[in-house]
Chains A and B, each alone.
Chain A
Amino acid sequence: MSEASGSKKLLSLVCLIGGAALLVVSLALDFMGSKAGYRGALLVIGIIGIIVGLYILPTLKYHRTLVYVIFLFPLLFAFAVTVIIPLFLGLFYSFTNWNGIRYTEFVGLANYTRMFRQPSFIWSILLTALFVVFNMILVNLVAFLLALLCTSKLKGMGFFRASYFLPNLIGGIVLGYIWQFIFSNVVTKIFTGMKFSMLSDTKTAFIAIIIVYVWQYAGYIMLIYITGLNTVPGDVLEAANIDGANAMQTLFQIKIPMIAPTITICTFLTLTSAFKQFDVNLSLTNGTGSLMFMGEFLTNGTQMLALNIYNTAVVENEYAFGQAKAFLFFLILACVSILQVRISNSKEVEL
């Protein structure tokens, strides 16, 4: 027993020292400016060596804590590097003249004041708000009606449910291009009165985005409503039936109040996802569309906030400005979703 623990100790020490040595070598190479490809491998092996060494070190007292730390490390590390650090860096960069690589001066609130003087950005905010409102109403309404249809006992409902959900499986980029084809080639052929594609005019192009979005998203929300409707107990419906309630009364006085939590979830989902809409916007219209707004001629008639931020930074190369816009975007989203949850919760209590 003591011999086993002795050899274990030796092994763990070898791992620890070897790992530390590799780590030091790889970092030294890094500081000497070496471009060697094996540097990364050395680093990773070094870290693994240290972890293994610590792990087999026979100090049972701290063993549990050590296991916890090792278990937490990978995800927390990834989370810190991809979310937390960029979040704070981004907040800092939004006050500078950052160009994506470096910054030379601190500009204070200049980026934030500038965006409110930019008509194209104000337009994007208004358009996004309009889009969110339309979608929250339309998607929920359509999804709820589909859910009612799918919960009534009909033959082949499994097929209908699956096919209504199908568009949600496909990414927005591909769907956007398919619908671009439909609007510019097929719709004009079916409705011969239409001379031009819906996508060529700002107003109809906006309607087109809403159509595609409802088409894609309603099936998913429908599934959640179906789950909600299925939780309404059968005996309650039966009681209502015996009392002589008609279908409308059952719907408005029993089903809808009983699925209030589901409605909260669905409005929240449609709100946040419509607000962040990017893929379909990019591939269907790429934000184009001309209009007069605030005395200026704009060419981004169908550009929603997410796309506006992307274009500001990536296309126009104004990284700090785009970052400041992104923070405003985040603030609006946070406020609106908190407000929505509050309102829904208070409604639920009343019932």
Chain B
Amino acid sequence: MHRKEPTSRVVIKFVIAIIIAAYILFPFALVVINSCKATADITANPIGFNGVSIGQLMQNLNDVINNTNFLFWHAFGYSVLITVLSLILLALFGSMTAWVICRNKTVWATVIYFTFIASMIIPFQVVMLPLISTFRDVGKFIGIPMLQSVPGIVFAYLGFGGAMTVFILTGFIKGIPYDLEEAASIDGCRPEQVFFKVIFPLLTPVITTVTILNGMWIWNDYLLPSMMLGQNGKVKTLPVAVQAFVGSYVKQWNLILTAALLAIIPMVILFLFAQKQIMNGMIEGAVKG
């Protein structure tokens, strides 16, 4: 297909690719190296390997994990719980909503759809302040605390992630032939059975996309949890815990970098296992969204 490229150019390109990769991965390497050092060794020489020892890493890990401002396992657990709950509910309710919007040619379905689309441009900053007071009032009214609680923040993610989720899912459901549903109806399926038995299983690829997009956002989100959960609340997500921890330890770089390492590792491990899915999900989300 191509004229064969001269070897010299291939080599140059390869070298450039390696240099860029080194530049991009360099910060990660620094985090790993310096998590294995004491503060004095870091300030003396942040790049070299002197002072690196597994013992020091264990020491740092121990100091960070049990720190009262960080409480790694606590924050990690809450992050996982909040992310997983939000993702499951977003996928379920999102596809239910998208299906109803697709199968109704009425005015209100169109209105709902365009409201969702229009809302995607609203930045979080515009609603974050009244959101807190609204949630406080709603929580008081229904008797379930909505601030500093897991149900509250999952509910908020449901509201904020809803628009994009419905948008991507509607695009997909429109492509599913209606004959399929008619056949199921004729065979005696009720509408909800049609959805759960016929449509929902077909959505697997697009739900994967949506889950990856939402998952990346919710896991790394800082502003919403910091506003809703507070810096020193009982419930904390990982980004909030990192911020609270670093705020309390100025320039203790060995501890700060160890905390960063702990925050990075879960995502990197996930990426190693699901590289292709994550990258494809991010691409599809961008192209459709």
Q: Is A100 positioned at the interface, with any CB of B under 8 Å from its CB?
A: yes
**A75 touching B191, Cβ below 8 Å:** no
Find chain A residues with CB under 8 A from B162 CB. 75, 78-79
* Cβ–Cβ contact A82 & B160, under 8 A: yes
Which residues from A are CB-within-8-Å of B17?
Answer: 149-150, 154, 156-157, 160
Enumerate 29 A-B pairs (CB-CB under 8 Å) in ascending A order: A30-B142, A40-B142, A63-B191, A67-B190, A68-B100, A72-B100, A82-B156, A82-B159, A83-B119, A86-B127, A86-B134, A87-B127, A154-B13, A159-B21, A164-B21, A164-B24, A166-B268, A171-B263, A174-B260, A175-B27, A177-B242, A177-B246, A223-B282, A223-B283, A224-B287, A265-B287, A322-B129, A326-B126, A329-B126
Q: A75-B166, A174-B242, A224-B287 are in contact. Are A182 and B27 (CB under 8 A)?
A: yes
Q: In the complex, how many residues of chain A place their beta carbon closer than 8 angstroms to a beta carbon of chain B?
A: 105
Q: How far is the CA of A80 from the CA of B162 in the complex (A)?
A: 11
Within 8 A of A (CB), among B32-72: 34, 42-43, 45-47
Chain A 32-66 residues near chain B, CB threshold 8 A: 36-44, 63-64
- The answer to whether B256 has its CB under 8 Å from any CB of chain A is yes
Q: Which residue of A lies closest to B246 (CB)?
A: A177
A-B interface, 5 closest residue pairs, ranked by CB to CB distance from nearest = A82-B159, A39-B143, A171-B220, A40-B144, A40-B143
With the chains together, A71 CA to B99 CA distance in Å? Answer: 9
B224 to chain A, nearest CB (A): 10
Known: A43-B143, A75-B94, A234-B1. A333 touches B116 (CB 8 A): no
Q: How far is the CA of A259 from the CA of B238 in the complex (A)?
A: 39
Q: Mark B88-111, 1 if CB is under 8 A from A, else 0.
A: 010001101101100010000000
> When chains A and B are docked, how far (Å) is the Cα of A149 from the Cα of B96?
42
Q: How many residues of B contact A (CB 8 A)?
A: 95
Contact A64 B220 (CB under 8 A): no
Looking at A200-208, A287-295, A306-314, the stretch in contact with chain B turns out to be A306-314
A333 touches B97 (CB 8 A): no
Residues of B within 8 A of A154 (CB): 10, 13-14, 17
Could you tell me if A169 and B3 are in contact, using CB atoms closer than 8 angstroms? no
B122:A87 contact, CB within 8 angstroms: yes
Partner of A90, one of B28, B127, B227: B127
Is A83 a contact partner of B27 (Cβ separation < 8 A)? Answer: no
With both chains docked as a complex, state the minimum distance between the C-beta of B192 and any C-beta of chain A, in angstroms: 5
Task: Looking at the assembled complex, report how far the CB atom of A199 sits from the nearest CB atom of chain B, in whole angstroms.
Answer: 13
CB of B107 to closest CB in A, whole Å? 14
Closest chain A residue to B221, Cβ basis: A171
